[in-house]
Amino acid sequence: MKPIIEGVYVYEVSREMPAEAAGILPGDVITSIDNVKINDIQDLREILNNKSPGDIVSVTVARGEKWKQKLTFKVNLTRDGNRTIMGVTVGNLTITEALKNYQKASLSNMFMYLIPPTLAPSIVPFSDSLAQFYTHWLDP
């Protein structure tokens, strides 16, 4: 099964750091740096370990509903101790973040496929409420 999106999830963008200056936001998914695909945190670390402070990299992110919007930012890397950084806190994308982003409408459509056609007319009007309950249940 193909994942919804591959990359690393941006949990936090540090204030007054290069990622913030470039326009990267919490909730973005970093999908590539300098046209090199990012599948997980290890890929991101490898790329940054081969860069130097002051290098300008092209960071592509997916943003918005279902991460359909693709944006590319120029990020001027900086130093933190002996590490080259952008100023983001990232993690591998989890099902919780994916479901939060994957839109209530998609969950509503899922309910329509799971419900027998004879019951659908009576349940579909409540599917948005069920979707809200489901997403709140995942992240109290």
Distances (CA, A) of 128 to 66, 70, 77, 103, 123: 17, 27, 43, 10, 10
The model carries a pTM of 0.68
**Are 47 and 94 part of one and the same domain?**
yes
**Are 93 and 110 part of one and the same domain?**
no
Domains: count for the chain:
2
Output helix, strand, coil percentages for the chain, rounded to the nearest 5.
40, 30, 35
Contact 16, 80 (CB under 8 A): no
104 CB contacts (<8 Å, ≥6 apart)? 128, 131, 132, 135
**Are 78 and 22 part of one and the same domain?**
yes
Task: Note down the domain range covering 18.
Answer: 8-98
For the segment 94-117, what is each residue's pLDDT rounded down to a tens digit?
766 766 666 544 544 444 444 444
Angle at 95 between CA 113 and CA 44, to 5 degrees: 135
For the segment 46-83, what is each residue's pLDDT rounded down to a tens digit?
999 999 999 999 999 999 877 788 999 999 999 988 88
**Are 92 and 110 part of one and the same domain?**
no
